[in-house]
Amino acid sequence: MSELNPPSSDRPQTDRRCLKGSFRNPGRQPDLSHGMEDVAMLNRQTKSASWQLGPLVCLRVARAAAIVLLATGFALCGGTAFAAEIKDPPRWTKGSDFSSMRDWDLKGEQIIPHGVNSLYYPITPGHKHALERRDHPDGRYRKETVVLDTTEDFDIRGIGKFKTSVVQEEEYLDGVLTQRTLNWLALDRATNNVYSFGEVSWNIENGKPSFTGTWRAGDPDGDGVAEPGLLMPGTFKVGERYIYAGGRSTAYGGAENMEDDVQATVPAGTFKGCVRVREQDLIDLKDISDKIWCPEVGLVSDTSDGKLVVSNALPTSNPASNVSSIGKLRDKPAKQKSAAAKVSIADAKRIALQRMPGKVTDVTIEKKRGKNVYVVEIQTGSGEVDVFVDTQTGEVVGTD
C-alpha cells in the first residue's frame, strides 16, 4: 500500500493555467433583473466569439449562461491563478495512445444523468464538496463543486439522444471568486463508467464575466467533431488509458490509471483503497496532474486543485461532512486588496525591456506568485514573452 502525503520538497512545480468554477445559490430567490443584465453581457461576449465557435455552439453557450445566472441569482467576479504541474516528462503524447469513443460502445438508451460510481463523487443533485490548496503560489485557493438539479439534452450521431447532469464549479483565491464552469457529466448504466460530454466556462475580470471557451461532444471541433471523455471507469484497472476530454481544439487530454490500493491523508480524513490517475493534456504536453480518488467520496487530492476539506458524501460522524461553508464566500464576497503601485508603468516597461529586449505590446497588473505584478507583454524576434515586474520593488519575479 502506498501513502499519499508527500513532503514539501516533492510538491509539483507551477505554471499558468486558467481556473474554472461555478455554483448554484440554494435557498433564496434569484434577482432576475440583475441576472438578466449579466445574461445580456454574456450574450454580447458570445456573439463576439461567434466567428470561432459557430452559431450552434454560441446559442448553446448563451443558453447555458442563462441557466447559470437564473439558477444562482448573483453576479460574477474574480481573477486568475497558477496551477500545479507534475515535473515528470509526458508518458504519452498522442490521442491514439488512449482509448476513445470508438472503443466504448456508447448507446443513448444506456446513458443516465445521475448515479454513483464507487470511485467518483456522487453525481446526484445536491452533492457538494470543496478542495483547498493553501500552498498555492497566488494565495489561499479553494474550489467548490455542486451537482445541480437540472439536466442538459444531447443528441450525438452514433450514440443517440440522452441527458447529462450539470455540475457547477466555483474557484476562489483569497476569498475572491475567479471563474465558473458548467460541466456536463453522465454515467453508462451498462458499465458504470462516468463520462464528460463537455463544459462551458467564464473567466472573471474586474467583476465582470468574460467567456473563456467551451467544448461539447457532437459539435464541430476543428476539422472534426468533439467526442466525449471518460472520467472514471466502472472497473478500475492499473495501466488502462483513455481520453478524458475530447475537444481537440480546446480541451483535449488523456488519463492513465497509475496505481491502486493507495492510502491518502487529507484535511477531510484518511482514506484507504484509493486509486491514482494521471491526466496528461494533449495540447500542452507540460500540463500534467495527478488525482487521487477514493471509495464513496471521490476526489480527495489533486496536484492542481488541492485536497478535500469538506464533502456531504462523508459519514455524518465526520465533521468534514458539514458543507455549510460552501457558498459563503459567494454570498459575502471578499474584495480584492491591491496596494498602490510604487513602480510606474514607464519604469516597469524599462525594467522588462532590460530583461527581454523587444517591443512592448501591452501592460496589465495581475497577481502572480503571491505578488501584484506588472505583466509586460513583449514581442521579441522569437515570439511573445510576458515579463513579471513587482509593482512595489521593480524586481523581475518571472517570465512566461
Residue of 24 and 243 predicted with greater confidence: 243
What percentage of the chain carries pLDDT values higher than 90?
57
Where on the phi/psi map is residue 288: left (φ > 0), alpha (ψ -120 to 50), or beta? beta
Query: pTM of the predicted model, to two decimals?
Result: 0.71
The set of cell numbers assigned to 97 is 495512445
Residue 332: per-residue pLDDT: 62
Residue of 56 and 387 predicted with greater confidence: 387
- Return mean pLDDT, the chain: 80
Distance between CA 229 and CA 93 in Å, rounded?
16
Residue 336: per-residue pLDDT: 53
Residue 179: per-residue pLDDT: 85
> Averaged over 275-301, what is the pLDDT?
95
Domains of the chain: 2-331 (no CATH), 345-399 (3.10.450.40)
Residue 19: per-residue pLDDT: 32
Q: How confident is the model at residue 46 (pLDDT cuts 50, 70, 90)?
A: very low
Residue of 150 and 180 predicted with greater confidence: 150
Residue of 244 and 75 predicted with greater confidence: 244
> Averaged over 340-348, what is the pLDDT?
88
Is the four-CA dihedral 58, 63, 64, 69 of positive or negative sign?
A: positive
Burial group, residue 356, by CB count within 10 angstroms (0-12, 13-18, 19+): middle
Do 248 and 224 touch, CB atoms closer than 8 A?
yes
Residue 299: per-residue pLDDT: 98
pLDDT in tens, 83-114: 345 778 899 999 999 999 999 999 999 999 99
Residue 29 has pLDDT above 80, yes or no: no
Do 184 and 164 touch, CB atoms closer than 8 A?
yes
Q: How confident is the model at residue 399 (pLDDT cuts 50, 70, 90)?
A: confident
Phi, psi of 305 (to 5 degrees): -100, -15
Classified as helix, coil or strand, 238 is: coil
Do 55 and 63 touch, CB atoms closer than 8 A?
no
